[in-house]
């Protein structure tokens, strides 16, 4: 990991998160020389402050719930409490193992030069770090995102916090208001509820996880209601005040909620300010970097990947885009990424998973040709064993392929691997229906939904 | 074994397909004017810009194979790959 | 559910288990009239004495383990004990809900006549039940299987038991010998160990789950060793004696094991004796019904499905065969079932899942063209979060498709849905590699294995 002065590379990558490091690793495999510039920790948001720590918390939450409810399964147990220090050391242990692995991969790639420091685009193909200039025949912008706030909401890191603070909290608060009912908001709400916290979600849009199919939102809301997670949807937040013991939030219309903490989870903004992008002529829109479908910015040989590119803000989208751009630069002419084909998982309890179009989107696009089928997990043996409720919903075109899969229920996140092949390979229900699934698994619910759509339901009515 | 009498059936799909002697196929597309090709082959064709309806399949039951698609793709000039 | 005298049907089905009822439901959809004859309970072995009750026990076992190990995740809990009465009522609750659903499906199918009683094939197309004769233009034999024993081993249902007895045990025994290290044996061993029982598996073959890829067996053995599940492989059992408190088993060579109970899990035999099959000219081999690949027996218009047909004894194979025969009879000319394409799951902790060929089988068939790749779950974020070990192993042909997928680890059973599409659709590693999997899920391990085989590993070395 030497730091050359004025060195030239095939690719200079600004940012070592999901998008940046994936591009670096793939480029190195293709014998391109790479400078990977990272001001924080290799791995970025996802590994250190995003996907991994949240999912560790969610798993601890699952264990707390299962212990609490173990008598339903004949296991007598007593939940004594949550030891946040131990939860955090479990979580940090997972991160550091994966971090070591990633450092090993990048470190052992001969043609990757890792540059520690904050970079700035100072020429159309030059990034400067601490006074040193790294020139790239190509440049990939991958500077990621940060937790946004709203006007009138000052993040103090104590009572008004973002996910960054929430992930290092050393205690279980008595009560929390979660502002924002998107993926990050509902995941934290789910964790805290499992830890015994009184939780209220406030969301301006008319439903939780509004990007998902409406039926998924409804099912999540039903489940949250059962779990006694409070939520208020449909009205924007108006103001927040500090109280003696916490915060008081006023919702448009006058309704108020009080709690010990306020988590602001109103979305992530692109981390692009003062990085020289605009100065070098990169076309931007509200802070996002604009690209074409081949991820080219408006400046020749400058690409962008990950959360700074408008669209889904997901780690594996960053991986896929990073790999794409590396292959593109190497002249491999990779196939354009279908954004709808990127799987989406919300890891709350219950989980949500989807790929392809929502029913509403499909109808916008295809009108009357759209058919749907909803298989209730009540008929799925394994889901009954897990005592989970939910469904697998398919959206297909008449006499055509499956164009959307939407699932709700414990552990359905793992079913999206199969769903993703079905969507991206444009499979017909009959083609999936032909392959009978392992019994008793939750994958059978996917199978049953396809059997039903193919006109041959096995464990359901058509 | 399971059931789903409680399952809220959404838009009911067409009832059981009428019995027809058409082969159900081997993981290939269904009957009804659809091209016979396994899903990954259809995807490959899409990526390579090959129109499957213009091909005659050399696989079982006239299904289109990966080789059919690749041949068709190399016959038509592909998008110019970018150079470094 | 009337019982006609001397009635004639399009199909008479002997046995209402997985194979029989699937055939009945599909035939009814195809407007064929069906008599479904069942002497016990609709649903058969799988629902009442097989898949479903064992998986309920395994889930209770998982909860016991998670509670026991919850401190590792920061959840302070105390495992008080296993309440077998409550475990059994949970298990029976799952069965009865699914049973009701199935009865509803069969009962509401207008052209299925359910006949309660023991049937016998008394003519080539006639089954007699309690003196009444049911004639079928076609007959499907689906009489299933029973737990076998070995010479010198007398099942008494008290100390020497089969899975049937094990599933209704009203106590947690102090110690158990499990004779047989196949799927059923290792699943019970896994449950009992989680319930605190001292378990020893005795298997004559050189490894546990010998039908699986050798690496899967080795990984399971390693995990069982860590869990302190004892096992002795490679030597057959010699004799068993009753002791004051239980049983003493002698293994060939003189080694002995003592325990409170002996579970005999040495395989399932076809349930075909005295059912008139041979008398009517149905060709048999050691009790199994011989069929061609279209599941036709040697007698015209007589078919066989499920465990009585040599091959994998799995419920979903029964479903698939039942559906196949119904469609065949209806003249739909369905595609022949590829037995290797049927997914296989062992639901122990850790789980095993596979589809397609083992490495050994593939090499037998394809020689040097076979390439394999083994992705260790140590690199998979979600598996780290679950604290599980294992792998995803791919077997492919050089420049060809994936012909085998083998997985070990917690919850990998659900990954076999995706693996099944890959195998059955003859996907190439590069085609799967193109579709980046949701992060962080265990499906990513499948993705990474394909990425690596496609020459573009992301989170691993090639
Ligand atoms: C709480 C939370 C949970 C999430 N959970 C999931 C999930 O479960 N699944 C999922 O797919 N996604 C999840 N995400 C989203 C995921 O983290 C992002 O989509 C992903 O990290 C985007 O990758 P990126 O490479 O674009 O950006 P980042 O990961 O943000 O990486 C950008 C990197 O660039 C560096 N950088 C920025 N500016 C400079 C500079 N000037 N010089 C040098 N380096 C710089 C940063 O330090 C950072 O390391 C979650 C996000 C959050 C916040
Ligand atoms: C402990 C255990 C666990 C298992 N776990 C799994 C698993 O997880 N996944 C899986 O896929 N498979 C599993 N299996 C295997 C699965 O149960 C069988 O493969 C499946 O039940 C076979 O279906 P079948 O229709 O051939 O036979 P069966 O289910 O045995 O059904 C045969 C039916 O025929 C009836 N019958 C028999 N003779 C007559 C007669 N003369 N007249 C009328 N009726 C008659 C019987 O009463 C029975 O109901 C397990 C088996 C056991 C024992």
pLDDT band at B76 (very low <50, low <70, confident <90, very high): low
Give the position, in ligand 1's atom list, of the atom nearest the Cα of A17: 31
Q: How far is C247 from chain B (nearest CA, A)?
A: 36
| Strand (E) or helix (H) holding C198 | strand C198-203
Cross-chain residue pair B81–A333, CB shorter than 8 Å:
yes
Residue A181 contacts residue A209 (beta carbons within 8 Å) = yes
Minimal-distance CA residue to ligand 1 atom 50: A50
Residue B61 pLDDT? 78
* Token pair belonging to C4: 């006609």
List, for chain C, all residue ranges whose pLDDT scores fall below the cut of 50: 1-3
Residue B34 pLDDT? 62
Which residues in chain C are closer than 8 Å to A73, comparing Cβ atoms?
Answer: 59-60, 63, 86-87, 90
Residue B23 pLDDT? 36
- Please say if C450 is a catalytic residue: no
Strand runs labelled E in C43-187:
75-82, 112-116, 119-123, 126-129, 132-141, 145-147, 160-161, 175-179
Give the position, in ligand 2's atom list, of the atom nearest the Cα of C144: 27
Rounded to two decimals, the ipTM of the complex is 0.93
Indicate the length of chain A as a whole number.
Answer: 462
pLDDT band at B62 (very low <50, low <70, confident <90, very high): confident
* Token pair belonging to C366: 């394809």
Nearest Cα to A447, choosing from B19, C320, C79?
A: C320
Tokens 């992060």 appear where? C439
Count other C-beta atoms under 10 Å from residue C243's C-beta. 11
Residue B56 pLDDT? 87
A-B contacts (CB, under 8 Å): 118
pLDDT band at B13 (very low <50, low <70, confident <90, very high): very low
Write the DSSP symbol of residue A381: H
Handedness of CA A202, A207, A210, A216 (dihedral sign): positive
Which residues in chain A are closer than 8 Å to C94, comparing Cβ atoms?
Answer: 381, 384-385
Per-residue pLDDT of chain A (462 residues; tens, 9 = 90+): 444 567 899 999 999 999 999 999 999 999 999 999 999 999 999 999 999 999 999 999 999 999 999 999 999 999 999 999 999 999 999 999 999 999 999 999 999 999 999 999 999 999 999 999 999 999 999 999 999 999 989 999 999 999 999 999 999 999 999 999 999 999 999 999 999 999 999 999 999 999 999 999 999 999 999 999 999 999 999 999 999 999 999 999 999 999 999 999 999 999 999 999 999 999 999 999 999 999 999 999 999 999 999 999 999 999 999 999 999 999 999 999 999 999 999 999 999 999 999 999 999 999 999 999 999 999 999 999 999 999 999 999 999 999 999 999 999 999 999 999 999 999 999 999 999 999 999 999 999 999 999 999 999 886
- Please name the chains neighbouring B, where neighbouring means 3+ C-beta pairs under 8 angstroms: A, C
Residues of C with CB under 8 A from a CB of B: 18, 21, 29-31, 43, 46-47, 52, 98-102, 104-105, 315, 327, 330-335, 421, 424-428, 431
d(CA C73, CA B14): 49
Q: How far is A314 from chain B (nearest CA, A)?
A: 23
* Token pair belonging to C423: 């195998």
Which residues in chain C are closer than 8 Å to B39, comparing Cβ atoms?
Answer: 421, 425
Which residues in chain C are closer than 8 Å to A29, comparing Cβ atoms?
Answer: 455-457, 462
Give Cα separations from A371 to A346, A407, A423, A450 (angstroms). Answer: 25, 16, 15, 12
Torsion of CA C212, C213, C218, C222, to 10 degrees: -60
pLDDT band at B25 (very low <50, low <70, confident <90, very high): very low
Query: A308: CA distance to ligand 1 center in Å?
Result: 9
Nearest Cα to C98, choosing from A383, A453, A407, B9?
A: A383
Chain mean position to CA C18: 12
Cross-chain residue pair A460–B47, CB shorter than 8 Å:
no
Helix, strand or coil for residue A385?
Answer: helix
* The 3-state secondary structure of A112-180, one letter per residue: EEEEECCEEEEECCEEEECCEEEEEEEEEECCCEEECCCCCCCCCCCCEECHHHHCCCCCCCCEEEEEC
∠ CA C373-C378-C382, rounded to 5°: 110
Cross-chain residue pair C381–A98, CB shorter than 8 Å:
yes
Residue A169 pLDDT? 97
Residue A280 pLDDT? 98
Minimal-distance CA residue to ligand 1 atom 51: A50
d(CA B73, CA C298): 48
Count other C-beta atoms under 10 Å from residue A262's C-beta. 27
- Please name the chains neighbouring A, where neighbouring means 3+ C-beta pairs under 8 angstroms: B, C
* Token pair belonging to A437: 């699934």
List phi, psi (to 5°) of A197. -85, 150
């Amino acid at each position: 990991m030497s730091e050359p002065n004025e060195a030239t590379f095939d690719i200079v990558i600004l940012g070592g998160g999901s998008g940046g490091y994936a591009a670096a690793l793939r480029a190195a495999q293709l014998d391109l020389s790479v400078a990977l510039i990272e001001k924080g920790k290799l791995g970025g948001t996802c590994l250190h402050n995003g996907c991994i720590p949240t999912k560790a918390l969610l798993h601890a939450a699952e264990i707390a719930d299962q212990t609490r409810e173990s008598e339903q399964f004949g296991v007598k147990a007593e939940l004594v409490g949550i030891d946040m220090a131990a939860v955090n050391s479990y979580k940090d242990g997972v991160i550091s193992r994966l971090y070591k692995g990633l450092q090993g991969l990048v470190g052992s790639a001969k043609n990757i030069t890792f540059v520690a420091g904050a970079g700035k685009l100072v020429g159309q193909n030059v990034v400067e770090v601490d006074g040193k200039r790294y020139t790239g025949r190509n440049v990939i912008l991958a500077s990621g995102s940060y937790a946004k706030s709203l006007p009138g909401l000052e993040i103090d890191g104590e009572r008004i916090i973002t996910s960054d603070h929430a992930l290092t909290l050393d205690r279980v608060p008595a009560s929390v208001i979660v502002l924002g009912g998107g993926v990050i908001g509902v995941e934290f709400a789910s964790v805290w509820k499992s830890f015994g916290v009184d939780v209220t979600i406030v969301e301006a849009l008319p439903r939780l996880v509004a990007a998902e199919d409406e039926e998924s939102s409804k099912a999540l809301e039903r489940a949250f209601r059962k779990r006694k997670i409070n939520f208020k949807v449909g009205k924007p937040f108006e103001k927040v005040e500090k109280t003696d013991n916490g915060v008081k939030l006023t919702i448009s219309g006058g309704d108020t909620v009080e709690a010990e903490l306020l988590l602001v989870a109103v979305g992530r903004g692109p981390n692009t300010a003062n990085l020289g992008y605009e100065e070098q002529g990169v076309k931007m829109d509200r802070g996002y970097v604009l690209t074409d479908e081949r991820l080219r910015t408006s400046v020749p040989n400058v690409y962008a990947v990950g959360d700074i590119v408008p669209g889904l803000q997901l780690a594996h989208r960053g991986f896929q885009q990073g790999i794409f751009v590396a292959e593109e630069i190497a002249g491999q002419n990779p196939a354009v990424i279908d954004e709808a084909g990127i799987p989406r998982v919300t890891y709350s309890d219950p989980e949500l998973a989807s790929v392809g179009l929502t029913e509403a989107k499909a109808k916008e696009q295809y009108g009357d040709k759209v058919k749907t089928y909803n298989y209730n997990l009540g008929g799925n043996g394994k889901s009954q064993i897990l005592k989970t409720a939910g469904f697998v919903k398919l959206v297909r075109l008449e006499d055509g392929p499956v164009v959307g899969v939407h699932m709700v229920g414990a552990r359905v996140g793992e079913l999206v691997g199969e769903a993703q092949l079905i969507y991206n390979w444009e499979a017909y229900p009959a083609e999936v229906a032909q392959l009978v699934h392992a019994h008793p698994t939750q994958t059978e619910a996917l199978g049953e939904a396809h059997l039903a759509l193919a006109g041959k339901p096995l464990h359901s009515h058509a | 074994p399971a059931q789903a009498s409680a399952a809220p059936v959404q838009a009911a799909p067409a009832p059981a397909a009428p019995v027809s002697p058409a082969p159900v196929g081997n993981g290939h597309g269904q009957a009804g004017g659809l091209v016979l090709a396994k899903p990954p082959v259809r995807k490959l064709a899409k990526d390579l810009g090959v129109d499957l309806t213009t091909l005659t399949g050399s696989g079982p039951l006239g299904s289109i194979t990966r080789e059919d698609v690749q041949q068709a793709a190399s016959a038509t000039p592909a998008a110019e790959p970018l150079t470094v």
